[in-house]
Amino acid sequence: MAIQDNILKQLAEKYKAGLCTAEEVEQIKAWYDDFEENGYPLPPAEEIDRASLEAAVQAIKVVAEQQNSSINVPRREALITPMRKTYRSTIRYAAAAALLICAFIGAYRYLRPQKLQPLLSQATKKDFAPGSNKAVLTLSNGKQIILNNAHNGNLARQGSTAIHKSNNGLVAYYIGSGNYTAGIHVPDSFNTVTTPRGGEYQIILPDGTKVWLNSVSSIRFPVAFNGNRREVETTGEVYFEVAKDKRKPFIVTSGDQKVTVLGTHFNIMAYPDEDHMVTTLLEGSVKVTRGNQSKMIKPGEQALVNDGIKVVNADINDAVAWKNGVTSFNDADIKTIMRKVSRWYDVDVEYQGAVPDRLFTGALSRQSNLSALLKILALNHIQFAIAGNKLIVK
């Protein structure tokens, strides 16, 4: 089933206005099914780029798989496409994926490749690789271990606690059991793991709690949880799978916010350059406290903390996409996107001219180079240049 060029153009125009109907979405999806099976005859090469169109087909696959498998997405490039402010996230990733292609083809229709090339050539001559497993462990005595360069096996011992790095880069703390010999516990002994820009890391705390650190993040924790509660301090963005222990609540302090749990899965985003601290709950229940105000949140909810605490429904997939290898944007403006870009690609961002008042929704593999994102945003009249380690957004 081939969609005629004039109909395709009309669909592109309607999507730009946020007016595509459910039937038109199904029409686009059916066209792509046919494209994969039979190879839809493309317009002339000067009007549309085959490689980019095939990348768009892959985008639908990636985001649909993201919807069907709780974001266990293969490490492939996906699309990011502009959304009107009135087009809310009630249409989730599977439907949004079908809409992506409509805008993508429309952009190529109206912006010929030779016009796009000058906008991209300077920005893509120098590319930026994605981040990787990088972190620094600071021991209680002040010694620092660069974890990405450290050998596998035992890294250090602090009292009865041994610190071990496995083959996959995971760092785990063990207390006087298994292959480790118990020693004398060092009271009030704290360690800190810190990730730089372009880094992420995973550790297992002494109680068995699993922790994922996003870029520009940190966690400070004791080498053994003594007493009647488990307390840690974080900055940046951290995902927790807390080991259950009804006798010892687990307390996370991020700035002036405290999150109290017994055993649960949740994500805390507390970057200082974001408008809110955001705690998103996937499983269990948590109490979020700021000053004299406290609120309980349930799975599928998130607490937005600024001057007060506001509880809203959460897009779980979007909140933890980074932990599953995806950079995700859901109705995000360009500055929100660039803050994520700066942290993950270790690049400074500067703006020239008026910042466009548009929202974007989509997903991109965290293993993609920065140029993959820039090429797609350039289709939406956002220009880029690179000077040293600076990305200039025009």
Give per-residue pLDDT as tens, 329-348. Answer: 888 899 999 999 999 999 99
pTM over 0.75: no
What residue spans in the chain does CATH classification 3.55.50.30 cover? 5-128+326-393
| 146 pLDDT more than 60 | yes
The helix/strand/coil state of 278 is strand
pLDDT above 70 as % of the chain: 65
Rounded to a whole number of angstroms, the distance between the first and last alpha carbons of the chain is 40
What residue spans in the chain does CATH classification 2.60.120.1440 cover? 132-319
Among 2.60.120.1440, 3.90.180.10, 3.40.50.12160, 2.40.70.10, what is the CATH number of 132-319? 2.60.120.1440
Region 221-244 average pLDDT: 94
Contact 322, 347 (CB under 8 A): no
Backbone angles phi and psi of 384, in degrees to 5 = -135, 150
Token pair in block for residue 113? 């490749």
Note the CATH architecture for domain 5-128+326-393.
3-Layer(bab) Sandwich (3.55)
* pLDDT tens-digit series, residues 49-101: 444 444 444 444 444 444 443 333 333 333 444 333 333 333 333 334 434 44
| 269 vs 73: CA distance, rounded Å | 21
User: In which band, very low, low, confident or very high, does the pLDDT at 182 lie, cut at 50, 70 and 90?
Assistant: very low
